[in-house]
Amino acid sequence: MLIEVVKSKIHRVTVTEANLDYIGSITIDEDLMDAANLIANEKVQIVDNNNGERFETYVIKGERGSGMICLNGAAARKVQRGDIIIIMSYAFMDFEEAKTFKPAVVFPDTSTNRLM
């Protein structure tokens, strides 16, 4: 049996930009992507702590060290610059493997979106 578990989580990061004029996605600083074990084009769930929105999109690499968290396209309507969000991805794995799996969880500084 396979179950879906949290694979990666960037906990409480600040939205730096919301860009309607884009096809869609979330641009994430590549340092944060590496720390959270996320890759370009990976599906992620976004949870906005300010307004309660929950939605899915995919990851685009942002400039390393920039602190960028930019929601693009239609997703830009669900957040505002300065909102605090949580970014999560999930993976399917065998039930026994899931019992010992440890997700990559990152707690960046919300004022800079950089690793502490």
- For residue 23, what pLDDT band results from cuts at 50, 70 and 90? confident
Confidence of residue 49 (pLDDT cuts 50, 70, 90): very high
12 burial (CB, 10 Å; 0-12 / 13-18 / 19+) is middle
Report the distance separating Cα 116 and Cα 106, nearest Å: 9
Q: What is the pLDDT of residue 116?
A: 85
What residues are labeled active site? 25, 58
**pTM of model > 0.75:** yes
Task: Quote the pLDDT of residue 24.
Answer: 80
* Alpha-helical segments (H) within the chain: 30-36, 95-100
All domains of the chain in start order, with CATH: 2-94 (2.40.40.20)
Quick one: average pLDDT of 78-107? 98
